[in-house]
């Protein structure tokens, strides 16, 4: 915008239009745009296979004392086991 980069204590802050960053102009253009008409297609009523996972156990990682991450909150994609009724 023609001005040197700096921070508040070194340069004075101003709400004047010349001090605004270029990204604000892009955001304002996006909010000011209008889109054309949109058409939505309906989904037909088709039967589907209902899968019941009543006997599935999902387990988390092991918790390590003093670790940065809580192991009880980390679930992997393959960390599950299905049992028969």
Residue count (the chain):
85
Q: Provide the pLDDT for residue 25.
A: 58
Compute φ and ψ for 68, nearest 5 degrees: -70, -40
Residue 24: DSSP 8-state:
H
Average pLDDT of the residues in 81-85: 87
Cα distances (angstroms) measured from residue 53 to each of 47, 48, 81: 19, 16, 10
Average pLDDT of the residues in 69-83: 89
Q: What is the pLDDT of residues 27-73, one digit of tens each?
A: 666 666 666 777 777 777 777 777 888 899 999 999 898 888 898 89
Contact (CB, 8 A) for 79 and 59:
yes
Q: Provide the pLDDT for residue 60.
A: 92
Q: Looking at the predicted structure, is the pLDDT value of residue 83 above 70?
A: yes
Q: Provide the pLDDT for residue 40.
A: 77
């Amino acid at each position: 915008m023609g001005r040197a980069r700096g921070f508040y204590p070194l340069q004075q802050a101003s709400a004047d239009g010349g001090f605004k960053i270029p990204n604000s102009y892009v955001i304002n253009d996006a909010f000011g745009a209008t889109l054309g008409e949109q058409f939505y297609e309906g989904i037909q009523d088709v039967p589907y296979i209902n899968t019941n996972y009543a006997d599935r156990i999902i387990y988390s990682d092991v918790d390590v004392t003093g670790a940065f991450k809580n192991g009880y909150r980390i679930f992997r994609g393959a960390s599950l086991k299905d049992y028969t009724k």
